[in-house]
């Protein structure tokens, strides 16, 4: 087995293991740290899929942004007095049945879909995706979606600050 | 690859169903969004242009970031009001 395949299975193993760890752990902080491992593993897999830009964005946005936000949320919503941050679970059987059923359905449909036999899979795009063409098509073909997503981010930012912000001035605030 | 995406999605669903804490539910949602990204990028490899799936997953990442910011703001505010982030105890809108 060449090095590339070993690395691929290494990242896939990291992802699968940490995802399963999130499913079984009861400590919220451990789940958040396992989520970091998951995101790093998925970023590694993105590199093997020829999507380097998505991999970098994944690390920047998820590990650098969302995880920090999550840990801050955990800090702000628990009184940290040395006790472990446990979360209760409920509906274990129900949830397990539904998710295992959907997992079985996915496996079955992936196998019956037999994607590796489809004609268009044979012409696998082996050439590397250039960052230049990625940026060009982002700014030409998808420019409307790009602008809309920018506005959405701005609105979400303002909304988040407005919701979580200090309520001291709410008496004089018109809103 | 697709199997890993399916596994991530189902674990995310499981976490959303079975946890009581709001932040754990958020973690499950992030897992599901990320598994969708994994599938998009996987299929994008067979695209002759090889770009549509990647660009779509870029948008998915952006929306996930916006969603996490707003949701955590709401969770913090709810915690200030109810003094708990347990989803079963936040039931003042229960009919």
The confidence score (pLDDT) of residue A104 equals: 82
> Does the beta-carbon distance from B27 to A31 stay under 8 Å?
yes
How far is the C-alpha of B94 from the C-alpha of A124, rounded, in Å? 53
Q: Does A116 score more than 70 pLDDT?
A: no
| Average pLDDT, integer, range A137-158 | 88
How far is the C-alpha of A101 from the C-alpha of A95, rounded, in Å? 10
Q: Does B2 score more than 60 pLDDT?
A: yes
Helix, strand, coil percent content, chain B, rounded in steps of 5: 75, 5, 20
DSSP class of residue B19 equals B
Which residues 112-171 of A have a C-beta within 8 angstroms of B? 115, 120-121, 123-125, 127, 129, 133-134, 137-138, 142, 145, 149, 152-153, 156-157, 159-161, 163-164
**Which of the four pLDDT bands, split at 50, 70 and 90, describes residue B95?**
low
List the domain boundaries for chain B: 2-82
CA distance A82 to chain B (A): 18
The confidence score (pLDDT) of residue A174 equals: 46
Q: Does A70 score more than 50 pLDDT?
A: yes
A23, A77, A90 ranked by CB distance to B85: nearest: A77
Q: What average pLDDT does chain A have?
A: 79
Residues from chain B contacting residue A27 (CB–CB below 8 Å):
none
Q: What is the ipTM of this complex?
A: 0.80
Which class is domain B2-82?
A: mainly alpha
How far is the C-alpha of A15 from the C-alpha of B29, rounded, in Å? 16
What pTM was estimated for this model as a whole? 0.80
> Does the beta-carbon distance from A123 to B48 stay under 8 Å?
yes
The confidence score (pLDDT) of residue A86 equals: 67
> Does the beta-carbon distance from B55 to A50 stay under 8 Å?
no
């Amino acid at each position: 087995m060449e090095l590339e395949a070993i690395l691929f299975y290494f990242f896939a193993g990291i992802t699968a293991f940490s995802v399963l760890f999130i499913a079984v752990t009861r400590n919220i902080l451990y789940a958040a740290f396992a989520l970091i491992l998951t995101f790093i593993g998925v970023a590694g897999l993105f590199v093997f899929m020829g999507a380097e830009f998505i991999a970098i964005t994944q690390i920047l946005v998820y590990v650098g942004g969302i995880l920090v936000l999550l840990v801050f949320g955990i800090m702000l919503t628990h009184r940290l007095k040395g006790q472990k941050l446990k979360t209760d679970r409920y509906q274990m059987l129900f949830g397990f049945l539904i998710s295992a059923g959907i997992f079985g359905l996915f496996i079955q449909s992936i196998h019956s879909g037999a994607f590796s036999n489809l004609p268009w899979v044979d012409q696998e795009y082996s050439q590397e995706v250039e960052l230049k063409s990625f940026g060009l098509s982002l700014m030409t073909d998808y420019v409307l979606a790009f602008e809309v997503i920018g506005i959405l981010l701005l609105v979400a930012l303002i909304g988040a600050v407005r919701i979580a912000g200090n309520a001291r001035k709410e008496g004089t605030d018109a809103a | 690859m697709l199997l890993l995406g399916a596994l991530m999605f189902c674990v995310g669903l499981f976490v959303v169903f079975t946890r009581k804490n709001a932040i754990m539910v958020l973690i499950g949602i992030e897992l599901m969004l990320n598994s969708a990204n994994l599938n998009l990028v996987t299929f994008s490899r067979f695209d002759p242009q090889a770009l549509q799936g990647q660009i779509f997953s870029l948008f998915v990442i952006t929306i996930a970031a916006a969603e996490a910011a707003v949701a955590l703001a709401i969770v913090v505010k709810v915690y200030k009001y109810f003094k708990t982030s347990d989803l079963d105890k936040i039931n003042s809108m229960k009919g």
